[in-house]
Structure 1
Amino acid sequence: MRIPLLLSALTLAVTPAISDTIEARLGTTEFHDAKITHAPDDGVVRLFGAGGPHTAIAKVAEVWEGKTGNRVVITAGPEHRWTSDAQESADILWGTSQQSMAAFLLTYTSFKLDDAEPIYLRPTVIAVRAGNPKGIRGFDDLLAEGVRIVVTEGAGVYNTSGTGLWEDVAGRLGSLQDLRKFKGNIVSYALGSGASYREFERSNVDAWITWPNWPTVKDDLEMVKLEPHRTVYRDLSVVLSSKADPEAKQFLDFLVSAEAQYIMASEGWER
């Protein structure tokens, strides 16, 4: 037995380590289509990304279109609905967190992760039903018996900024009891923010740890701010194609201007 073991040890010693990095996995996702030619330079600024930021970005785009006469087309929602179009014609992609952007760029190999730039932050909040019938005022109220919570979770199969967010908030003070109580009140794990929002109707939930834009733009939701010591921030990042329309860079510059910051702040985006 000693000789085979020795040979195995020698084999391990001389075998080069296999890289398992994002760079090594570019273009290996189920969405990536090597047959699609990336050609976004068509005179229209086209942005693609997950739902959420698109409502504020659209308000900024409307102002910029009025100033410049250039056209902006924004496509948002679940990635499977727009991935082929984005691989062909995206000037700009946005990501709703760093991990979300990194996951996107495994598919969109014409964009580089090093070029992705964080441009805004937003804090976690609690979304409750309009009128706040449960009287939720902060995190501790979510631990009460009978509170029904929906959380957003990618579960390894869906790209969302909400992945692990509830755990970050619930475990922020290092209390295992907080985490257990919160988890005990979860009645639904939804794949994506849109699905989480729909659970208010489907599962009769009371609360959702999410981002300010959702309760801001939905009339049937109300926002409850989390205590500062519970608040977690994640960013909005953008990345520009090297083949983008020249106007795309101009739009990104406007997106962080003072005028645009005022618009973005109306939906909870901070800079």
Structure 2
Amino acid sequence: MKIRKLIITTAAIMASCSTYASGQFLDTSIVHHPKDGVVRLYGPGGPHTALIKAAAGFEKKTGQHVEVIYGPEKKWSKEAQQRADIIFSASEQSMTAYLENYPFVTSKDVMPMFIHPAVIAVAKGNPKNIKSFADLINHPMKIVVTEGKGTYNTSGTGLWEDIAGRLGKLDDIKKVRANIVAFEQGSGAAFKSFQNLKADAWITWSDWPIANADKVDMVTIEPERMIYRDFNLAISPKADAGAAQFSAYLETAEGAQFFKEEGWLR
């Protein structure tokens, strides 16, 4: 009897964990009804800087109002489940996680639009004279990295180890890990930690130092270690007609220019 109770209890816990992992913020009581004349996009910080500029350009051109809501998912998830015309993200693994919470879009709706390279953000003036990722391996450094820690959706999850392990050398991963002083949930939190800890390097995406050029400088990563991930979006089948028009605008020379200025590539 005790064994049976243990099995039942364990199964219940596993089922609970499975439900949490599949749709952490999903509220099935919310009715998805985005069509109201305003195109709303929801997603993480990072791509938002280019999107906001593109939205302004699109509205000036067409008169269609576009709102970009961004930041940690928990801040906008419930509203997005009701009002999102478009869900966007800064990596494929991040979008795959979003799909669990916004079932009105599926994997078939996801459209890769731009890619961005990983870079090293350093303090203004680059006081440690960091020239490559190899410097983060071969010298004592205070490094900040972005991680989801199993509970937070961020495009930075696993980025540092992908770069460190790119050449197939376990020792490179060991040395970088030994230099990491903070694993932060989300790029915004990582950026704050980088500043507060007066760290030497933050492994991030190109759009962050470009958008914050007054606070940090950017060091490119050597080609043999370079990692790229994409900006992608998914349009709700119930979206305002302007959503598809805005997506198409991003692929024009005019729309793509806003992303190019923020470090995104096609």
> Normalization by structure 1: what TM-score?
0.89
1:207-246 per-position Cα deviation (integer Å, ceiling 9, x unaligned): 0111111101112111101111110010111000000000
**Letter aligned with residue 193 of structure 2:** E
Does the residue aligned with 1:124 lie in a helix, a strand or coil? strand
Counterparts in 2 of 1:44-63, with a 5 A limit?
A: 44-63=38-57
Amino acid at match of 2:109: D
- Output the CA distance in 2 between the equivalents of 1:241 and 1:202: 39
Equivalent position SS for 2:108? helix
Count of residue correspondences:
248
Q: Which amino acid aligns with 1:37?
A: V
What is the match of residue 3 of structure 2?
none
| Gap change, CA 1:28 and 1:227, over 3 Å in 2 | closer
Q: Which residue of 2 aligns with 1:4?
A: none
Contact 1:26-1:106 within 8 A present in 2 as well: no
Partner SS, residue 223 of structure 2: coil
Tell me the SS of whatever aligns to 1:40.
coil
- Is 1:92 the counterpart of 2:81? The answer is no
Contact (CA 8 Å) 1:26, 1:107: kept in 2 or not?
no
1:79 aligns with 2:64: no
Structure 1 residue 202: deviation in Å? 2.4
- Letter aligned with residue 83 of structure 2: S
Unaligned ranges ≥5, structure 1: 1-23
Report the equivalent of 2:60: 66
Task: Note if 1:206 corresponds to 2:200.
Answer: yes
Query: Separation in 1 of the partners of 2:101 and 2:40?
Result: 17
Structure (1/2) with the larger helix percentage: 2
Instruction: Tell me what 1:220 maps to.
Output: 215
- 1:262 deviation in Å? 1.8
2:225 to 222, 225, 230: 230
What CA deviation, in whole Å up to 9, does each residue of 1:26-48 have, x standing for no partner? 99423111111100000000000
3-state DSSP of counterpart to 1:244: coil
CA distance in 2, matches of 1:33, 1:80: 12
RMSD: 1.5
Partner of 1:3: none
Report the CA distance shift for 1:248/1:26 in structure 2 as closer, same or farther (over 3 A): farther
Partners of 2:78 and 2:132 in 1: CA distance: 42
8 Å CA contact 1:26, 1:109 repeated in 2: no
TM-score after normalising by structure 2:
0.90
Secondary structure at 2:95 match in 1: helix
The alpha-carbon deviation at position 96 of structure 1 amounts to 1.1
Q: Relative to structure 2, which stretch is displaced further, 139-148 or 37-46?
A: 139-148
1:245 aligned to 240, 244, 251, which one? 240
- Within-5 A mapping of 1:1-271: 28-218=22-212, 219-271=214-266
Q: For structure 2, which runs of at least 5 residues remain unmatched after alignment?
A: 1-17
Q: Looking at CA atoms only, which structure, 1 or 2, has the larger radius of gyration? A: 1
CA distance in 2, matches of 1:27, 1:86: 19
Q: Distance in 1 between matches of 2:22 and 2:161?
A: 29
